[in-house]
């Protein structure tokens, strides 16, 4: 068996091993899970090291000053591992503080424009006149939902007056429809993941066609051993 073919066989085995979890928790699914976590971690570290090598060769090794800065940054990154030391735990907080500070600073730079102002502008620019009836209706509903949902989360006012009740009710229903749509998309994604694996198992191009050959045999072996073991345990009792 060639290396490529063995790789496909492994792909079929691990795909089906993960799905055996649907039957129940078992050694196959656990083995597949652990192998995946190990491989993904090793793979991530390898890529990070490769990027660091590229940075050293391409950018930071050119001058003494840059080289010192690079080494200092590397030493700083090693401090992350003091997370596992009770005595020197405080050292872990230094890279953590730098990472959190940099990330928040970078995000704050654009968050107001990207996620608040542009959305307010877009909502305010919605037209209900001078457009076709369907667009006008859609825009009106959008504006109504925005206003009512914002009102729903206004806690600084006591919402005792009678008109708050229908406003809050409308906002709640609008949010429920939103959550429902989001859940619908979640189902779509989960199905798509499954469909992707089924395409692989059936060898639908560009997936390797050899997968189709291994699929029934591996499925039979996995299911057979799981069901057989369960039957053995039952009869032993």
Partner 1 sequence: MATSRVWEKLEALDARIIYLILWIVILLPFIYPIGLPVSIGPQALAYAKAIDELPAGSIVVVSFDFSFGGLGELYPIAVATLHHLFTRPVKVVIIAIWVDGPPIADMVLKELKPEQPPYNKKYGVDWIFLGYTPGGETAMAALGKDFWSTLPTDYYYKKSVSEYPIMQGLRSAKDVALLVSFETGTPGADEWVRQWYVPYKVPMIVGCIGVMAPTIAPYLAGGQIKGALPGLRAAAEYELIIGRKGLGVASADVLSTSHIVFVLFVIIGNIAYFMRRRSK
Residues that bind partner 1 (CB under 8 A): 22-23, 43-44, 47-48, 51, 54-55, 57-59, 102-103, 106-107, 109-111, 113-115, 118-119, 121-123, 178, 181-182, 185-189, 191-199, 202, 204, 206
Classify residue 158 by its DSSP letter: -
Of 78 and 204, nearer to partner 1 (C-beta) is 204
Do the Cβ atoms of 222 and 28 come closer than 8 Å?
yes
Min dist. Cβ of residue 6 to partner 1 (A): 18
Of 58 and 130, nearer to partner 1 (C-beta) is 58
Of 101 and 166, nearer to partner 1 (C-beta) is 101
- Considering only CA atoms, which of 125, 128, 131 is closest in space to residue 141? 128
Do the Cβ atoms of 222 and 17 come closer than 8 Å?
yes
Min dist. Cβ of residue 67 to partner 1 (A): 15
Min dist. Cβ of residue 44 to partner 1 (A): 5
Min dist. Cβ of residue 135 to partner 1 (A): 12
Do the Cβ atoms of 35 and 29 come closer than 8 Å?
no
Residue 185 phi, psi (nearest 5) = -65, -35
- Considering only CA atoms, which of 213, 224, 211, 230 is closest in space to residue 15? 211
CA distance 230 to 163: 62
Do the Cβ atoms of 20 and 29 come closer than 8 Å?
yes
Min dist. Cβ of residue 216 to partner 1 (A): 11
CA distance 47 to 222: 34
Min dist. Cβ of residue 46 to partner 1 (A): 9
Of 77 and 164, nearer to partner 1 (C-beta) is 77
Residues in the chain: 237
Residues 6+ apart with CB under 8 A from 226: 20, 23, 24, 26, 28
Min dist. Cβ of residue 52 to partner 1 (A): 9
Of 94 and 165, nearer to partner 1 (C-beta) is 94
Of 177 and 221, nearer to partner 1 (C-beta) is 177
Nearest-5° Cα angle at 66, 60 to 72 = 100
Of 64 and 157, nearer to partner 1 (C-beta) is 64
Do the Cβ atoms of 176 and 183 come closer than 8 Å?
no
């Amino acid at each position: 068996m060639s290396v490529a073919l063995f790789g496909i066989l492994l792909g079929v085995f691990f795909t089906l091993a993960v799905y055996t979890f649907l039957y129940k928790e078992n050694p196959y699914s656990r083995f597949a899970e652990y192998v995946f976590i190990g491989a993904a971690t090793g793979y991530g570290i390898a890529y990070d090291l490769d990027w660091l090598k590229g940075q050293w060769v391409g950018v930071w090794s050119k001058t003494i000053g840059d080289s010192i800065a690079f080494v200092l940054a590397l030493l700083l990154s090693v401090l992350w591992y003091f997370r596992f030391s009770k005595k020197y735990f405080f050292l872990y907080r230094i890279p953590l503080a730098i990472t959190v500070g940099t990330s928040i600073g970078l995000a704050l730079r654009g968050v107001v424009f990207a996620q608040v102002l542009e959305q307010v502008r877009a909502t305010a620019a919605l037209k209900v006149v001078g457009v076709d009836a369907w667009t006008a209706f859609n825009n009106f509903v959008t504006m109504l939902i925005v206003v009512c949902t914002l009102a729903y989360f206004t806690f600084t006012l006591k919402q005792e007056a009678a008109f708050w009740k229908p406003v809050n009710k409308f906002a709640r229903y609008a949010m429920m429809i939103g959550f429902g749509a989001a859940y619908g998309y979640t189902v779509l994604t989960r199905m798509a993941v499954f469909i992707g694996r089924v395409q692989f198992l059936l060898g639908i191009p560009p997936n390797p066609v050899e997968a189709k050959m291994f699929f029934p045999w591996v499925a039979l072996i996995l299911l057979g051993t799981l069901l057989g073991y369960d039957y053995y345990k039952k009869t032993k009792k």
